[in-house]
Homo-oligomer: A and B are copies of this chain.
């Protein structure tokens, strides 16, 4: 690839920003059915372009092999007929969901006769920065579009050709449906400097959503002048209280850790009340000790075989068949431990004591707080939101699973009859 001058890239990006804004103005006032037709047309366009997408993907796979990508990485990158159909189906599913735009959120009539309506509107232009899997191009794009936002995408360099083919199909369908060119755009460079330019394009882009590892997210947050919604790691806790129903507790801990350990809502640290620790942990070890590596301090290691772990290890996100264990004196110590080490994603208390459940709900500062259920439910689909664009660990704008509704904001429209101050 030839070297691109920074100012050329900047100028091209400025043009992309203008196009995204123009398209967003039209998209913002599209009726629900027209947006549904748009997403369905994009699904059709992706299916029509199946061969083109596969050809582009073959180039990425070939490059990946040359660059020594692992077989797991190559598998994530690969697109076949089934995965391409999956992208199209995903767009149709989003198309069928509720339109979050144009809802009257509140109305107020003031003593001077002004009638103030608060109405949901799209955010505008969303920049999405992601790694690896090319289906994110369609999935994330679709949710943004249903909420009335246009997108500027920056995918992983390994999937550059695949992403370009998918975005091209989607944008073409946009134009066919009457949108100006620019509803779905992909940065045409793999150059890393382009990310920095994108996250400072505050004149045109309203929101940045980075999807990927912690390094990517930290870099984006550091450089951005545009608001960022972060999806950091999930260091999720489950606290087994002394009044826990062991049957529930064992099933829930097993599920939270083992059902799919590589995801952000999986359990990473088990917190156990000291009074029942010996009994509970021995039963747990019988249940999952053969497949899950336990980590803990001396007290834990007296009860079961565990790898030595201390304070600095408690924020580890294993994403694997491994977990930390912490024994506490009471619910207050459990809450303090969790609020210190959690990533504010999802935590659960297993107890038959309603009072303790209420205390846990009130005191835990995380996006999703559970009583007697697995943290694995933190997911847009499981919450009944439909598709999700990620799970926010931030505390501004949106927390927890983010669907199309979380990609809207509001404006006030004020009806007057000549009122002055």
Asked whether A362 and B411 contact (CB < 8 A) given A108-B383, A395-B124, A420-B251, the answer is: no
Q: Which of B221, B368, B417 contacts A414 (CB 8 A)?
A: B368
- Contact between B206 and A418 (Cβ–Cβ < 8 Å)? no
In the complex, the answer to whether A114 meets B373 with C-beta atoms within 8 Å is: yes
- Interface of chain A residues 6 through 44 with chain B (CB within 8 A): 25, 28-29
Asked whether, in the complex, the Cβ of A418 is within 8 Å of the Cβ of B367, the reply is: no
Chain-B contact segment, one of A169-177, A190-198, A374-382? A374-382
A residues 376-420 touching B (CB-CB < 8 Å): 376-377, 382-384, 394-397, 399-400, 409-420
Name which residue of chain B comes closest to A376, CB basis: B421
Closest partner residue, chain B, to A254 (CB atom): B420
B362 x A395 contact (CB < 8 A): no
Q: A363 interface residue, CB < 8 Å from B?
A: yes
**Counting chain B CB atoms within 10 Å of each CB, which of A207, A362, A382, A396 scores highest?**
A396
Q: Are B382 and A418 in contact (CB under 8 A)?
A: no
Interfacial chain B residues near A365, Cβ < 8 Å: 25, 28, 121, 124, 411
Given A25-B365, A110-B384, A207-B396: A374 in contact with B419 (beta carbons within 8 A): yes
Contacts of A370 in B (CB 8 A): 413-414, 416
Number of interface residues of A (CB under 8 A): 67
Q: Is A255 an interface residue (CB 8 A)?
A: yes
B contact residues around A121 at 8 Å (CB): 365
Q: Are A421 and B225 neighbours in the complex by a CB distance under 8 Å?
A: no
Query: Known: A368-B412, A418-B251. Is A395-B206 also a contact (CB below 8 A)?
Result: yes
A410 & B399 in contact (Cβ 8 Å cutoff): yes
Q: Establish whether residues A418 and B372, one from each chain, have CB atoms under 8 Å apart when the complex forms.
A: yes
**Please, how many angstroms separate the alpha-carbon atoms of A28 and B400 in the complex?**
19
**Complex Cα gap A207–B121 (Å):** 23
Could you say which of B116, B123, B248, B259 contacts A396, with CB atoms under 8 Å apart?
B123
Show 14 residue pairs from A and B whose CB-CB distance is below 8 angstroms, ordered by the A residue. A110-B383, A206-B395, A222-B225, A227-B395, A251-B418, A254-B420, A259-B421, A368-B412, A371-B416, A373-B417, A373-B420, A376-B421, A395-B409, A399-B410
